[in-house]
Amino acid sequence: MPDEPVFAEPWQAQAFAMTVALHERGVFTWAEWAQALSREVKAPGAAADGGDYYDCWLRALETLLAERKLAPTADVDDLAAAWERAAHATPHGEPIRLENDPQGGHF
């Protein structure tokens, strides 16, 4: 089987690294993390080839952070929508910044 790059897309690397950093800060134990990830990768509908592994990873991270009231789902939804709008409003080739969200008001 051929080797693939460590991360297929940059967001996977970010999600991975945030998890490692949060664990190092003691936000959750690694056993708690493994359990959360296990729930997601064993959920019905998970891809048989493991191709959605980092989607599972991100869902597990969101769940743990929502449970700990550190990042409530509604806040993540709102900010994700803001990032999407900012991305559309940003000219190609420029870094996307949350300030570019035309609806603004996040800070």
Partner 1 sequence: MAARVRALETILVQKGLIDPAAIDVIVDIYETKVGPRNGAKVVAKAWTEPDYAGWLKKDATAAIASLGFTGRQGEHMQAVFNSDDTHNLVVCTLCSCYPWTVLGLPPVWYKAPPYRSRAVIDPRGVLEEFGLTLPPQKKVRVWDSTAELRYLVVPQRPAGTDNWDAERLAELVTRDSMIGTGLAKEPVAA
Q: Which residues contribute to the site for partner 1 (CB under 8 A)?
A: 1, 3-4, 6-7, 9-11, 13-18, 20-25, 27, 29-31, 33-35, 37-38, 41-42, 46-51, 53-55, 58, 61-62, 65, 70-71, 75-84, 87, 98, 106
Q: Which is nearer to partner 1, 25 or 91 (CB)?
A: 25
Residues 6+ apart with CB under 8 A from 103: 82, 85
CB of 7 to partner 1, least distance (A): 7
CB of 93 to partner 1, least distance (A): 17
* Angstrom distance (rounded) from CA 100 to CA 84: 10
Question: Residue 63, class by beta-carbon neighbours within 10 Å (0-12 exposed, 13-18 middle, 19+ buried)?
Answer: middle
Residue 60 contacts residue 40 (beta carbons within 8 Å):
yes
Tokens of 1: 């089987």
Q: Which is nearer to partner 1, 91 or 107 (CB)?
A: 107
Q: Which is nearer to partner 1, 7 or 89 (CB)?
A: 7
